[in-house]
Structures are given as structure tokens and as C-alpha cells.
Amino acid sequence: MTGDTGTDAVQKRYAYEWYVVLICMLAYIFSFVDRQILALMIEPIKRDLQLSDTQFSLLHGLAFSLFYAFMGIPIALLADRWSRPRIIAIGVAFWSLATAACGLSKSFGQMFLARIGVGVGEAALSPATYSMLSDMFPRHKLGRAVGIYSIGSFIGGGLAFLIGGYVIDLLKSVDSVHVPGVGALRPWQVTFFIVGLPGVLVALLILLTVRDPQRKGLRHDADGGVRKPAAGDVFRFLGHHRGTFCCHYLGFSFYAMILFCLLGWTPAFYMRKFGLSPVQAGYMLGTVVLVANTAGVFCGGWLMDWLARRGHDDAPLRAGVIGAIGMALPAVAFTQVDGLWLSVGLLLPAMFFASFPMPTSTAAMQILPPNQLRAQVSALFLLISNLVGLGLGTTAVALLTDRVFHNPAAVGHSMSLLIGVATLACIGLLAAGCGKYRRSLAREEGERATRAVPVPAAPARAPVGQTL
């Protein structure tokens, strides 16, 4: 009986741990639907709000990324001290309501404020989730857990295109829709309500079913007590490993620039160069993202775990280098070919390899820091990667198109130029960071072993299936 009870407990714990991964993945799906739905509706939003490409890029990139990045730091500081499931639930509810508020926008300023709200709410999700998962899974399984969670981003990105395309197709013959209590809304405004409001139910599910796990890898004082993080601890830690974090933060930020460039401007590229309608672009790109990006996230996490099992302590960065090399040629070339299906054929491997760093970049930041600093280190990484990747990346394409090429149809040339430069920077920085990461990890593990709190010997225990 004792053995059976122990086995049941292990199975229940295992099932619960993966339930947490899946429910957080569901939240991530909603976050990317709410984040990316804007890209497909570029033309009707530009028309109704009278926007240029640069103004639209500010809505898609800067309004979201600036506050997503900066709000991540105080929220992460809270996540290192308070209940992580509660923080996640509040964030999900907040960004879901802000997405619905995008549907009420009638000017650039109103939409800008609503997108800020989406960014603030989504800032709560990933730092708290990464911190939770690192307390639930050992290092050799962390890449897989983070990878499965990260798959939600591309399921969400794919669904954003598919749902957006479906709603546009459904309402294509309708000039406006009357919503009780709100009034007449354009079809793109209704879409924001459809994708935003269901997220509130996900927030309630997290609040009611997810428990905050026991924190592991905590720093201790000389007397054995848990050391509470002080203001400035995270910056002292980053300074102690500044070479490692410079290569990691900047290398993966250039990687993020490529990914957000692909997600943000590929719909406009296909509509402008090949004459696809928003519905056609939505269905095609939704399928590409669901297949290629989802597979890329899973394979990136698997590759990291495979490298780690074979003794490569720099597995997170090494996997990133492999992905960047595989992405380089197809990502630059898909906008330069003339055939639609040849372009899509190149887009598939570009999206696949562009997704490799989703689990690897974040897993690296959960392995190296002590528990008290994990969420803050992740938030600082998200700050830089989103400012560089989403904020600068999407806006740089628009500026090149508006100010250098002076032609909206040249968006493909802008994308190729940006992707080519960013890929070279990404490969160089991550390759240089591999050795630095190995040395930093060895130093931290040595210090943790020195500071480890002695654990009393456990009492003798009978073999499984027997009683004493």
C-alpha cells in the first residue's frame, strides 16, 4: 500500500506540473492572439484612422513594447516576492480588457493608449511563468517545459491570422456592426472584442487552480536563513557576469528583431507584392505560423535538452547559434523571389529557425541566476529584447519603407535589409557568448555549493512496496 500510495503521489504531481505548463501555454496563446491580431488588419485600421506605415508601426511596436518592457521590471520584482499565479491571473485579465478597448478606438491616440494597456498586462505573464517552471522542473527537463509553454506564442500568432481572416471574411459585406451599449463598430473593431474578452475566463482558471510552487535555488545568509533580495542585487549580479549577459541579451535581442519583423510585416508584404486579400494572407500565414513556428519552438527546446544531456553547459546559446545559421538564407531570400509559392517555401524554414530561441533564451536566464533574482533577470531580458526586437525592429522596417525607398511596395526590401544585418549580429554575439556562459555557470554553481545549507540526514526508509 505504501508503495502504491507513493507512486500515485508522484503521478499526480507529474500530471499537475504539466497541467501548469499547459494552462500557462493557454494564457500565452491568448497573449499572442491579442498582440498579433493588429498585423493582419493593417489596411482597414490605416484607412479608418488615417495612419501612415510609421504610425501603424508605433501602434504595433512601440506602444506595446515600451510598456511591456519597462513594466516587466517592477512586476518581476513582485514575482520574486509574492504569489506568481495571482500576478499572472491579474495580468491576463488586464490585457484581455485592454484588447477589447482597442475595439473602441476611433483615433491614433486612443488606440495607442489601449495598446499600452495590452503591453502592461502581458508584462506579468512570462517572468512569473519562467520563475515558476524553474522551480517545478530539473535542468535537463526545463528546456522541454519552457519550449511547450513557448509554443503558445506561435499557436496564438497563427490563430491571430486565422481568426482575423475568418472574421474579416465573415463581415466583408458589412460596413458596421451595432453592439448594444457601444454603438456602431467597424468589423476590425468587433474582432478586438471577439479575441479579447475570453481571456478573462483564462485568468479565473489560473487564479482558482494553480498553486505557487516552493522556491528552489535560494541564496542563504551565513546563518542559514533565506536571504531576501535587496534593491540593486540584480544589477550587481549582472555586473558580476557582464560579458555573459551582454552577449546573451543583445544576441537574442537581434534574434527577436528578426522574428518580430517576420510576424509584423509579412502580412503586408504578401498583400502588397502578390495582391493577397487580408483573408487569403490570414489563412496562409496562420497555417505557416501554426506549423513552422510551433515545430521550431519544440525543436529548439529539444535541441537544448539534447545538448545539455551531452555535457554542453552552453546549450541554450549553442542552440541559438544553430537556429540563426539555419534561418539566415531563407529569411533574407523569401521577400526577393517572384513566385508566391517559392516565397512561401522559403518562409517556412525561416519561421521554423526563427522560433528556436523562444525556449533557449529564457531557459538560460532561469539556470544561471539564484531564485530570488530569476524573474528580475528575465524581465530585464524581455525589456531589452522587446525594445530592440519589437520596438526598433518593426519601426525600422517602416522607416526604411517610408524614408529610404519611398514606396509601400518596397516593404520586402526593407525586411531583407534589416534581417540580413540583424542575423550577422545575432550569430556573432551568441557565438562569442558560449564560452562566457560556461564560465559564469561554473562560477555560480561553485558559489552555491560553498553557501549550501547543510541538510540533516533522512531517516532510513523501507524499499518501495514494503513497510518498516
Per-residue pLDDT tens digits for 425-435: 999 999 999 99
> Domains in the chain, start-ordered, CATH in brackets?
14-213 (1.20.1250.20), 237-450 (1.20.1250.20)
Residue owning grid cell 501602434? 59
Express as a percent the part of the chain with pLDDT over 70. Answer: 89
Q: CA–CA distance from 304 to each of 46, 300, 331 (Å)? A: 41, 6, 22
Residue owning grid cell 522556491? 215
User: % helix / strand / coil in the chain, to the nearest 5?
Assistant: 80, 0, 20
Query: Rounded to 5 degrees, what angle do the CA atoms 329, 335, 340 make?
Result: 110
pLDDT value of position 253: 93
Q: Which helix (H) or strand (E) holds 435?
A: helix 411-451
Helix (H, G, I), strand (E, B) or coil at 327: helix
Residue among 447, 391, 396, 387 at smallest CA distance from 417: 396
Residue among 73, 112, 58, 83 at smallest CA distance from 377: 73
Q: What is the mean pLDDT of residues 83-99?
A: 94
Convert the pLDDT of each residue in 347-396 to its tens digit. Answer: 999 999 999 887 888 778 777 887 777 777 877 887 788 778 877 887 88
Question: Which residues sit opposite 226 in a β-bridge?
Answer: 220
Alpha carbons 43 and 272: distance in angstroms, whole number: 10
Q: What is the mean pLDDT of residues 248-274?
A: 91
Read off the C-alpha cell for 410: 518596397
Q: What is the mean pLDDT of residues 38-60?
A: 84
pLDDT value of position 227: 56
The mean pLDDT value of the chain amounts to 83
Residue 223 has pLDDT above 60, yes or no: no
Weakest-pLDDT range from 106-115, 183-192, 196-205: 183-192
Q: What is the mean pLDDT of residues 322-329?
A: 95
Cut 0.95: pTM above it = no
Residue among 217, 236, 248 at smallest CA distance from 435: 248
Alpha-carbon 308 to chain mean position: 22
According to DSSP, residue 408 is labeled G
Q: Which helix (H) or strand (E) holds 215?
A: none
Residue 455 has pLDDT above 70, yes or no: no
* Cβ count within 10 A of residue 110: 14
Q: CA–CA distance from 241 to each of 244, 245, 444 (Å)? A: 6, 6, 10
Q: Between the CA atoms of 339, 340, 343 and 344, what dihedral angle is there, to the nearest 10 degrees?
A: -150
| pLDDT band for position 2 (cuts 50, 70, 90) | low
pLDDT value of position 448: 63
Beta strands in 354-423 (DSSP E): none
Q: Which helix (H) or strand (E) holds 274?
A: none
* Cβ count within 10 A of residue 149: 29
Alpha carbons 63 and 149: distance in angstroms, whole number: 25
